[in-house]
Amino acid sequence: MPFGRSKRFDWQGAALALAGEIPLKRLHPRVVAWASMKARAPRAAWGVGFSGGADSLALLLLLWAHWPARRSRLVALHFNHRLRGPASGGDLRFCRAVCAGLGVSLLSGSWVRRERTAPVGEAAARTARFAFFEGALAEAGARSLWLGHQKDDIAESIMMRLARGSGTAGLAAPRPLQTMTRGRVHVRCLLTLTKSELAAALQECEIPWREDESNRRGEHFRNRIRQRVLPAWRRAARDRDALGGAALSREMLEEDADALELWVERANPLRGKVLHLDTLSGVPRAVTRRALQRWLLVLGGAAGDLSRQGFEILLRAVEAGSPLRLSLGKDGFAIIEDLRLKYRQKVTKKV
């Protein structure tokens, strides 16, 4: 349906119709349980990432329909990357029309880049988008950010992260409920549905959405996975539900990752900025790896950008408990002595 007609579109009726096509039982059960509990205290706002595309539109409509007590506290968050010329402005106008029809607040922002001629990487665009989300959530007084990831995104993310050598924590993304810093949480209720199922439900209800043509180009890694690899993989699977299998694997990887994190918690090896290696004696390498990652996170910027090779050297030394002095960052060393891993700053001689 053209955007011009969508200005007079009955968005509230569309939301209710879509909820009939996609009832609560089809959404991720853990998210439904979490949201139902939160709905009893409707004061806190829910931020909703809203690009105007099929996934984020379906998300916003379903939240409005399935949790009526939260309607006045829904805040749609639209970020304009300014990468598609006039089409980006059309996205914003569409999002404004949808939100006006639903009676939902809309906060929008745009990317101001210094190097307008330089190629835009996926990581840079994502960083800019989530920086906007952080500020918008604070402005709205929201601690929850709802995102429209679905089953296709799970498969794409797994393939991308396999290419980077990710472990269980990385392969378990995107999670239905992901705790972030400062008590915020990212919420994804559409992980039980495929992109084609969402599009079919929208079409059945004659609901328009915006298409991002840049998703069809192969400039970025995710787009190449989406356009070339994922279709070939699904064809190779033949009668198997490849996307369903990827979603199930993600759930089990999340369970494994959480179990390992709990093991680290119980071992309690990190006290302040010191990693006590005696508490890790006899534990699986995966537990030691996570304990070491926590130690590096506590150090923050002081640890610098430790290479994968450097991390593995440090990991082997931690496992062995052997004395070590390894340059770490620009200004310090990782020191192992008396079964303790510490950070020690370099001493600069005064001239």
pLDDT bracket for residue 217 (50, 70, 90): low
Phi-psi region of 114 (alpha: psi -120 to 50; beta: other; left: phi over 0): alpha
- State the residue range of the domain holding 283: 268-345
298, 273 contact by CB (below 8 A): yes
Rounded-to-integer distance, Cα 120 and Cα 84, Å: 12
Please name the residues in contact with 45: beta carbons below 8 A apart, sequence gap of 6 or more.
73, 74, 75, 140, 141, 142, 144
Residue 219 or residue 251, greater confidence:
251
Inform me whether the pLDDT recorded for 63 exceeds 70.
yes
pLDDT (0 to 100) of residue 3:
43
Given a cut of 90, whether residue 218 has pLDDT beyond it is no
pLDDT at res. 1: 42
- Contact between residue 174 and residue 8 where contact means Cβ atoms under 8 Å apart: no
Please indicate, yes or no, if residue 235 is contained in any of the structural domains.
yes
What pLDDT score was predicted for residue 113?
A: 66
Residue that is last in its domain, among 212, 246, 280: 246
- Indicate whether 6 pLDDT > 60: no
If pLDDT is split at 50, 70 and 90, which confidence band does 281 have?
very high
In the prediction, which pLDDT does 337 show? 96
Shared domain for 185 and 306, answered yes or no, is no
Provide the pairing of β-strand 105-110 with 74-80. parallel
Over 70: is that where the pLDDT of 77 sits? yes
Q: Where are the alpha helices (DSSP H) in the chain?
A: 3-6, 11-21, 29-38, 54-66, 86-102, 122-140, 151-164, 168-171, 195-204, 221-224, 230-237, 242-267, 285-299, 308-320
What is the pLDDT at residue 348? 67
Q: Would you say residue 292 has pLDDT above 90?
A: yes
Helix 54-66 / helix 195-204 crossing angle, nearest 10 deg: 70
Q: Are residues 223 and 282 in the same domain?
A: no
Residue with tokens 């989530």: 130
Q: Which domain CATH number covers 287? A: 1.20.59
One domain for residues 322 and 215? no
What are the tens digits of pLDDT across the range 232-276? Answer: 999 999 999 999 999 999 999 999 999 999 999 999 999 999 999
72 and 16 in a single domain? The answer is: yes
pLDDT at position 4, please? Answer: 43
Q: Is a pLDDT exceeding 80 seen at residue 349?
A: no
Statement to judge: residues 205 and 327 lie in one domain = no
Q: Kindly indicate the confidence band of residue 32, based on its pLDDT and cuts at 50, 70 and 90.
A: very high
Report DSSP state, residue 46.
E
pLDDT at 88: 78
Domains contained in the chain, number: 2
> Are residues 105 and 231 located together in one domain of the fold?
yes
* More confident position, 121 or 128: 128
Whether a cis peptide bond, with omega within 30° of 0, leads into 2 is no
pLDDT band at 2 (very low <50, low <70, confident <90, very high): very low
Confidence of residue 8 (pLDDT cuts 50, 70, 90): confident
Min mean pLDDT across 38-42, 284-288, 341-345 is at 38-42
Give me 103's structure tokens. 């009676």
**Which residues are paired to 324 by β-bridges?**
336
CB 321 within 8 A of CB 310: no
Mean pLDDT of the chain: 91
Is the residue at 351 inside a domain? no
